[in-house]
Structure 1
Amino acid sequence: MPDRAPAPALLPQDAVWLGLDLGTQSARCLAVDSAGHVLAAASRPLTSRREGDRHEQDPEQWWSALAGACREALADIDPRRVRGLAIDGTSGTILLTGPDGTPLTTGLMYDDGRAGAQAVRANGVGEEVWKELGYRSMQPSWALPKLLWLLEHDPAALAPGTRLLHQVDLVTWRLAGRQTASDASHALKTGYHLVEDRWPEAEFAALGVPASLLPEVVRPGTVIASVCAEAAEVTGIPEGTPIVAGMTDGCAAQIGAGALAPGAWNSVLGTTLVFKGASPHLVRDPQGVVYCHRGPDDTWLPGGASGSGAGVLSREFPGADLDRLTVEGSELDRDTVAYPLVSSGGERFPFRAPDARGFLLTGDRTAAPSEEPGEAERFHAQLLGVACLERLCFDYLDLLGAPVDGPLTLTGGGARNAYWSRLRADVLGRPVRLPEHAEGALGMAVLAATSSGVRLQDAAAAMVRIEREIEPDPARTARWLPVYVSFVEELVRRGWLDRTVADHAKQRTAR
C-alpha cells in the first residue's frame, strides 16, 4: 500500500514521538515520526515469579529494562527531534512505595489472583458505584482487591508516607524525578470513578483505604511532567521531554490500531481474544463482562477479554506444522466447528461461564471422542470457532447498545495467518483492516503526539498505517452463517449463554 498523505499541519513534521511499553515479558521503546514511520525500536526482557495464584515482578526491573531499551532506541536519533513520550503498562498491576518512590513491595501483576476474599468485600461495599460505572463487579485480579490484600497482610501499607502506584506510575516518577499524577485508564481497576473524575471516598473509607495512599488522577493524554536531568542521563531521553499520561496496554494497542472513531473496533487475537472499541457514551453491561475506559477526547472505550483464542492451537496441536494444517483444513472446507476455550477458569467474554469447557461440533451433533475428525479438520474447526466467537462478541455488544458498525482492525499473532483473517472477515460479513505496525508502544507514540495540540483521532490518522484491507465474500458469509447459529445454540444448550443473547445473534444474521 502506498504511503499515506503527509501528517496534518498541526503535527510537527520533524518530530519524533516515543512510545514506551511495559508488557509481561519485555519492556519496549519505539521511536516514531509524525507520519507513522518507525525509526527505531528496542526491548529488554522482564522476568516474573509465579507461585499458585500469585504473579509478581521486581519493580526495579521495570525501570532498568525500560531505561536500557530507551538508550538503545535513541542511540541514532537526533535529540532535538524528540518532542514527547507516553507509556502503557499491564492493567491492574500495582505496588506500594515509600514517600521517596522506593518500592516497599513487589509488583502484584495484572493476573495475580490472591485477593479473592478481598474482591468479595470490595464488591459488597462498592456495588452501587461499580454498577454505575458499567462493570458491576471487580475480579480478584483487579487492583483494588489486591490493595486490600496488601493492607491486610503487609505492614508497609499503613506506614507514614506510603504511596500506592500503578505499574507505569513508578516509571513516570523516575522519569520526572518526582511523583506524577496517575492516568484514569490505569486507575480504573483501582476503583476510580470515571464518570465523576474522583476516587469514591465513602466506599474507600468503609473499606479501610487511607486517602493518603492514593495518587492524583488525570485523563490520558494530559502532560503530567517533563524528563529530569538524572533520568535523561540514564535513559538517553532528552531533558525536558514532555511526559504524557498514558493508558493500559489494551487501550494502547487499540490506539496503535487506529480504532478510535465511534463504532470502530480492534480485535486482538493472541493467546486469548481481546476486544476494544470506541463509543460516544458509557456502555453498561448487566452481566459485567464488558467494561469501559475513558478516552482522551471525552470518548468511552468499551472492551472485553475472552478466555478463548489462538492459544488453543498450541495446546491442541503441539509441535504441528500450523501452515500445513491451515492449507489442508481450508481445502477440506467442512462445517465442523470448535469452541476454542483456552482458559481453565472458563469463559469471561462475551458471556461469563466459569464451568465452560471446549467442545467440537460436527453437523448438528457433538462428536463423540471415537468419531473425532482428522487433524486438519479439527484444526480448521478451531479457526472457525474463533471466528464464530468473534461474531458473538459483536452481537452481544450490539445488544448492549454499543456502536459496532465502524471499521474493524485485526491485530495480534492470529492476524498473521492470512487464511484465518479472510475466514474471520467472511464469518463476520464485514471488511477487516490489518495495520503495518500494531503494538502498544506505537499507540503510546500516537498518544504522545497529542501533546502538540492535535486530537487523538487526527494523530492516529497520520501515524497509523494500514497494510491491507480484506473484503468479505458474500457467498462465504452465507455458507458459514448456519454453522454460527449451530455454535450459538450449542452454547445455550450447555447453559452458558443466555437465550436473549442467542436470539439477538440469530436476528442479526438476517440483516
Structure 2
Amino acid sequence: MTLECPHYPSPRASQTVCSRTFSLSIRVRFRRWNDCQNVSPPKNAVGLRGMAADRQGSWRRPGAPLMVVATSATHAASRVADTQAWFEVTNESEPPRLVKTIGQPTTRRLPLQQAHATHALTAAVISGESRSTLAAAQAMSSRLSRCNHLLQPSDHVMTDLFIGLDAGSSVCKAAVFDRTGRMIAVRSERTPLARSETGRVEADPAVAWRAACRVIAEASAAAAGEGQIAGIGIAGAMVGAWVVGHDGNPVFPGMNWEDNRAQGLIDRMTAARPDLFSEIFKISGAAMQQGCTLPLTAALLEQEPAAMERARAVVSYKDWLRFKLTGELAADSSEAAVAPGDAVTQTRSDTLIELFGLTPHADLFPRVLPSAAIAGHVTAEAAAATGLPEGLPVATGSGDVIANVIGAGGLRPGAITGLLGTTCIMGLCTDRPVFEPLDVGVLFSLPERHWFRAMVNVAGTLNLDWAADLLCPDIAMQPDLFARLTAMAESQPVGAHGVVYLPYLSESGIIAPVNDAAARASFAGLSPIHGRESLIRSVFEGVVFSIADLCDLLSAPSDAPILLTGGGGRNAIWCAMIAEVTGRQVIVPEGSEFGAKGAAFLAATALGSFATVVEASAVAATGGQTYVPRGDDAVAWRAARSRYAEARDRMLDL
C-alpha cells in the first residue's frame, strides 16, 4: 500500500524562511522483506522483521517477514528535509511499533517547527490507535487535522522528479523523469576526448564538470513547474582512471577506457605469466582491456610516481562527477567488479589487486556502495554550480552499460539488451554469473544479484561517423547527413557488391568474438567498380555482422528478442538488417536516453519510489518499434556473411 497525502503550506514556516510556502508529503510503504533482501536500506537504517498486510489492510502472519517504511518530506524554497520511520508488527493485536526514525532536518537548515511537524505526522502512522494499514491511514488523517496550527492545505500536489546524468565518452546528458518513466526534459553537451599518437585517450576534468553543471542546470530549468526534483543518479563511461588528489583536484586528465598507457606493463606481465588474461577472467568474468582501472593505476604508479604521491583516490568518470557534487568518494558494484574485480561477489578482488602489485595502495580505491543507495548530498558549492538544491540526495549510480539495461527494461533474466552507440554491446541478463564462453566478453554486475553477460565490439556507430568523415566530406556537415548515408546504403544490394568491412575501429582492439588488442578495422574485396555508396553499405553490414557474432556467443533463448538502444537503434535500416541477420525480432523501446533513465530510476529506488531496481526497470520497459525477420534475400545475406567471416578469420588468425 502507498498512501499519498496532499501537500501543505505553512504560513509560520514561510515567514521564517522566505515569502514562499513549503510543502509536506507523507508516503507509507509496506514491503515483503524477502523481496528486498538485496536492496540496501537507506544510510543508518535498520533491518526489520514484521508481518505482511493483506489487501484489506488487516494484519496477518503468512510466514513472510515484512519491511515497513514511512517516509515524509518537507520542501521549503530550495531546501529539502527527508525523514524515514522504520517500524514492525509483532502480532495481530498490536499496532505497528516504531523502531527507528531517520532524518536530517538540521543539515538542511529548516526551521524547527517544520521538522517537528514532519516527525509528528510520520509518527501518526505508528500511533497506538493504528491496528491495521487502514487504521494507520485514518490515524494519519486525524493527526493532520490536529496539526492545523502548523499546517493548512494547499491547492496542488507536487510530483517527485528524478534527474539522470549520463556522462558518456564524448557526450554528457542530463534528463529529468517522473516515476512513470516519462522524460520531461533533456539537455546534452559534447565533451570531446583528446587522443594522442601514443595511444593516450584523455578527458579534461574541468571541461567534464562544467558540461555536467550546464546540462543539469538546463534540464532542471526546463522541467520547472512539472514537479519537485527529489534526487539525482549518475551513470558514466566505465573503468578508466580519474585520479583525485588530497586537495580534491584532479592529478591527471581523466583517462578513458580506451587509453593504452598500461599496455607495456601488461605485455611484461603476460611475458612472465602467459595465462595472465585467463587468470583474471576466472575471477572477473571479463576479458580485461588495458584501459581498466587496475592496470592503469599500476602503470601510473610506475610511470608517474611523484605525481601519484599526491593521489587520494582512483575512481571512474561517474564517481568523479559524484565526488564533485557531494564531496564524498565512493564506487558502485558495477565498477568495482570490472576494475577488474570479483564477478561472483560483485565487488573488488583482493587477489587481483595483489596481482597488479597494488596491495600497498589499496586505500586508493574507495568504498563500494550499491548502485541504488544514497552516496551523499549536493554540497553548497555544487548547488551554486548546478542550480540544484543544497542537500539534494545523490544516488551512487552505475556504469553506463548497467544504467542502459535498467532504463531499457532489460533487468530480467533471459532478456537480451543491445547498445548500438559509440560502442557496440550485446548482452544477456542472468540470475547467476555465467563465465562461458571463456576468455571473451565481459560479465557485468547488475543490481540485486543479477548479471549481464555481454559481448563487446568496442566500436559501433563510431564506424559510420569515421566513414562519413573519410568518404563523404562534402556532406559531413549537413544536418541530414545520416539520412543521406542511409539512402546510399539502401541504393546498394545486400553484400555491397562484394565489399567487406571489419568494424574493429578502436585503439584497444576487440574483446569478442576473441580477445585481440591488435585487431583493427579494414576493407576487403575492393576493386575499381566500387564507389563510396558500396563502401558505406559495407560499413552498415559490417557492424551488423559483428552484432550477429556477438549474439552467437550468448546462451540466449532462441526466441528472445533484442532490446536495441543507442543512436543506431534510431536507424531503421540498421534495425531491419540486424533482424534479418540474427533471425531475432528487434524491439526499439519507446523514448530515448535509456542510460539517463536508468540512472534516474536508481535514484528513485534509493529514495523509496520503487521497492527494488527490478521493479523500476519493469516500469521503464515500454513498447516501441518492432522489426521482424522477413527472410527476404536470405541467400544473399548468407553469402555476404560468409565473405565477412572469411575476412574476419584472416584478420584474427582464427
For normalisation by structure 2, the TM-score amounts to 0.65
Deviations 1:138-197 (A, max 9, x none): 3222111110121112235653772222222222223223x2321122233423223235
Q: What are the Cα deviations for residues 343-392 of structure 1, in whole angstroms up to 9, with x where unaligned?
A: 165544223453555344xxxxxx4524x445544443433333232222
1:333 is aligned to 2:493: yes
User: 1:134 touches 1:285 (CA, 8 Å); kept in 2?
Assistant: no
Q: Deviations over 1:438-458 (max 9, x none)?
A: 442222112222222432232
Range with greater deviation from structure 2 (187-196 or 120-129): 120-129
- Higher mean C-alpha displacement, 336-345 vs 99-108: 336-345
Which residue is equivalent to 1:463? Answer: 620
* Matches of 2:226 and 2:378, distance apart in 1: 13
Q: CA deviation at 1:241?
A: 2.8
Structure 1 residue 166 corresponds to structure 2 residue 339? no
Q: Distance in 2 between matches of 1:47 and 1:144?
A: 24
1:351 aligned residue = 514
User: Does the 8 Å contact 1:20/1:444 carry over to 2?
Assistant: yes
Residue 220 of structure 1 aligns with which residue?
371
Q: CA 1:61/1:10 → structure 2, altered by over 3 Å: closer, same or farther? A: farther
Give a deviation string over 1:380-421, Cα, whole Å, max 9, x none.
Answer: 3433333232222111223xxx55753312223333322232
- Pick closer, same or farther for the CA change 1:312–1:43 going to 2, 3 Å: closer
Q: Check whether the contact 1:36–1:465 (CA below 8 A) recurs between aligned residues.
A: no
Tell me the residue number matched to 2:630: 473
Q: CA deviation at 1:296?
A: 0.5
Once the two structures are superposed, residues 218-270 of structure 1 have per-residue CA deviations (whole angstroms, 9 ceiling, x without a partner) of: 23222222333443333222333322222222332333322222222232223
Letter in 2 for 1:443: G
- Deviation per CA, 1:467-501, whole angstroms, max 9, x where unpaired? 32122214455663454345435544x26375xxx
CA shift digits 1:74-116 (9 cap, x unpaired): 1243597222221112222322223352322221222111111
- Residue 419 of structure 1 pairs with residue 419 of structure 2: no
Answer whether contact 1:101 1:170 (CA < 8 A) is retained.
no
The 1:381/1:213 distance shift into structure 2, 3 A limit, reads closer
Confirm or deny: 8 A CA contact 2:423 2:458 kept in the other structure: yes
Matched letter for residue 196 of structure 1: T
Change (3 A) 1:18 1:188: same
State how far apart, in whole Å, the 2-side matches of 1:174 and 1:40 are.
23
CA distance in 2, matches of 1:174, 1:329: 44
Mapping of 1:67-146 within 5 angstroms? 67-75=213-221, 76-77=223-224, 81-120=228-267, 130-135=280-285, 137-146=287-296
CA distance in 2, matches of 1:250, 1:279: 15
SS at match of 1:440: helix
Of 320-329 and 277-286, more deviation after overlay is shown by: 320-329
Contact 1:10-1:454 at 8 Å conserved across structures: no
Kindly, what percent of the aligned residue pairs are identical? Answer: 28
| CA RMSD of superposed structures (Å) | 3.3
CA positional deviation for 1:295? 0.5
The letter for the 2-side match of 1:81 is Q
Choose from 195, 200, 211 the match for 1:54. 200
- Kindly tell me: are residues 331 and 154 of structure 1, through their superposed partners in 2, closer, same or farther at Cα, counting changes over 3 Å? closer
Query: Does residue 369 in structure 1 map to residue 519 in structure 2?
Result: no
Q: Which has the higher contact order (CA 8 A, sep 6+)?
A: 1
Q: 1:333 to 1:212 in 2, by over 3 A?
A: closer
How far apart in 2 are the matches of 1:95 and 1:343? Answer: 24
State the SS of the aligned residue for 1:300: strand
Cα 1:420–1:188, aligned 2, differ >3 Å: closer, same or farther? same
- Given that 1:184 and 1:194 are in contact with CA atoms closer than 8 Å, whether structure 2 keeps it comes out as no
Kept after mapping to 1: 8 A contact 2:162/2:178: yes
Aligned to 1:294: 445
Of residues 185-194 and 211-220 in structure 1, the stretch that sits farther from structure 2 once superposed is: 185-194
* Cα distance in 2, alignment partners of residues 207 and 163 from structure 1: 17
- Correspondences of 1:205-216 after superposition (within 5 Å): 205=354, 207-209=356-358, 210-216=361-367
- Any conservation in 2 of the 1:134–1:288 contact (CA below 8 Å)? no
Note if contact 1:259-1:278 (Cα within 8 Å) is conserved in structure 2: yes
Q: Is the radius of gyration larger for structure 1 or structure 2?
A: 2
Between the aligned partners of 1:168 and 1:347, the Cα distance in structure 2 is 24
2:337 partner SS: helix
Q: TM-score, normalised by structure 1?
A: 0.82
| Alignment match, 1:390 | 547
8 A contact 2:251–2:311 mirrored in 1: no
CA distance in 2, matches of 1:278, 1:202: 26
Can you list the C-alpha shifts for 1:14-51, whole angstroms capped at 9, x where unaligned? 22111012223333211111122211222344344332
Contact 2:341 2:352 in 1 (8 A): no
Q: Contact 1:264–1:405 at 8 Å: present in 2 too?
A: no
Instruction: Give the secondary structure class of the aligned counterpart of 2:430.
Output: coil
Determine which structure has the larger helix proportion and give its number: 1
State how far apart, in whole Å, the 1-side matches of 2:244 and 2:483 are: 48
Between the aligned partners of 2:220 and 2:382, the Cα distance in structure 1 is 14
1:42 matched to 2:200? The reply is no
1:153 aligned partner, one-letter code: Q
SS at match of 1:441: helix
Q: Out of 333, 336, 353, which is 1:184 matched to? A: 333
| Cα separation, 2, equivalents of 1:417 and 1:166 | 31
Q: Given that residues 23 and 89 in structure 1 are in contact (C-alpha distance below 8 angstroms), is that contact kept between their aligned partners in structure 2?
A: yes
2:562 to 408, 424, 436: 408
**Structure 2 residues without counterparts, runs of 5 or longer:** 1-28, 32-70, 72-157, 476-480
